[in-house]
Amino acid sequence: MSALEVTLVTRDGERLQFPCAATDNVLRAAETAGYFLPAMCHEGTCGLCHARVAAGAFEMGAHSPSALSTKDAAAVLLCRCHPRDNLTVDLPYNRSQVLRHRVPVREAVIESLTPAWHGAVSLSLRLQPDPETGSAAEFSPGQFMELTIPGTEIRRAYSLANLPNWEGRLDFLIRLHPGGAFSTWLAEQAKPGDKLTVRGPSGAFVLDELSARPRCFVGGGCGLAPILSMLRHLGEFQDSQPTHLIFGANREAELLPEQEVETLRASLPQLGVTLAVSQPGSGWDGFTGTAPAALEAWLAEATEAIDIYACGPPKMLEAINAIVDQRGRGDRVIAEQL
């Protein structure tokens, strides 16, 4: 049987065409054709290769239900999407997020590892100079790197919290999960001077800077790192679009520190901030509820269509998609699932 034709349409309207056998999946066929799309696991669990089929029949292979946080029947994971017809697929990102080369793998050294707020650590790495890639840390705010535990094959994705820089500095905010492989290595063994392999940058959770809509960022816990990077970028360029941040936590102690909020406000004076706590103590006078509930309340006051940048677990993203569908104002959700 001859290969079918797949056309990927990027958010900024570019069309990328390549053949794909019915036995193959769209992600692998794209890579064979030299288009490297945002993806990580290649096995239907991370959710990073999500897209939407605009035309043509397809079959989805086995995947984790949590990897697709929408009930939209046309939503697919490209690493599990087998064409049964010529396919047209809308990608939720611009052409610049589709690479023409494999994601770079580089060596880095731990510069510092310090406690951050409630149960998290701040990890700073410095990239080692590389004859091909140089020593700068080049990435788009919102992207992540995959870090490998030294001496193992265990890799985990962590979002960059800082801004691109010439010095090769990569900053991460990592929540420690008791019993987790990377968490245990960080808590018990990692120390400044250790070398580790990093792969990246990757990911399509990046700002759509061409959009003129107001922006609302929604995150909680470790979902804050890419949002911090995006907000710092907007502050650096003195962006003037209306911008709101909703940060959700279970308890007050897990909230973003006040000093961090003030630093963000100093560079982005128009920034509105809602701190939402779902199980607050008796003295709490802020929003009581989850981050999606705080978003729903905030959207009730918004008259325009909003670009919502959401980063967090599948349940949070599902709740946000449901709120946006129900509101029916054409809001757009740009999401990263952790």
Ligand X SMILES: Cc1cc2nc3c(=O)[nH]c(=O)nc-3n(C[C@H](O)[C@H](O)[C@H](O)COP(=O)(O)OP(=O)(O)OC[C@H]3O[C@@H](n4cnc5c(N)ncnc54)[C@H](O)[C@@H]3O)c2cc1C
Taking the least distance from each CB to ligand FES, the nearer of 44 and 235 is: 44
Q: Does 39 bind ligand FES (CB under 6 A)?
A: yes
Binders of ligand FES in range 76-105 (CB under 6 A): 77, 79
What is the Cα–Cα distance from 56 to 67, expressed in whole angstroms? Answer: 22
Q: Does 218 bind ligand FES (CB under 6 A)?
A: no
Query: What tokens appear for 264 in the block?
Result: 């963000």
Give residue 127's identity as a one-letter amino acid code: L
DSSP state of 142: T
Task: List the one residue from 29, 47, 221, 316 that touches ligand FES (CB under 6 A).
Answer: 47
Shortest distance, CB of residue 314 to ligand FES, whole angstroms? 12
> Reduced to 3 states, what is the DSSP secondary structure of residue 151?
coil
- Using alpha carbons only, what angle is made at residue 167 by residues 164 and 168, rounded to the nearest 5 degrees? 65
What is the Cα–Cα distance from 307 to 254, expressed in whole angstroms? Answer: 26
Taking the least distance from each CB to ligand X, the nearer of 180 and 192 is: 180
Taking the least distance from each CB to ligand FES, the nearer of 60 and 273 is: 60
Shortest distance, CB of residue 249 to ligand FES, whole angstroms? 27
> Reduced to 3 states, what is the DSSP secondary structure of residue 177?
coil
**Span near ligand FES by CB under 6 A; candidates 45-53, 163-171, 261-269, 279-287:** 45-53
What is the Cα–Cα distance from 69 to 275, expressed in whole angstroms? Answer: 24
Q: Does 182 bind ligand X (CB under 6 A)?
A: yes
Query: What tokens appear for 172 in the block?
Result: 């991460």
251 binds, among ligand FES, ligand X, none (CB under 5 to 8 A by kind): none
Question: Residues binding ligand X: what is the number (CB under 6 A)?
Answer: 22
What is the Cα–Cα distance from 253 to 77, expressed in whole angstroms? Answer: 36
Residues that bind ligand FES (CB under 6 A): 39-42, 44-49, 67, 77, 79
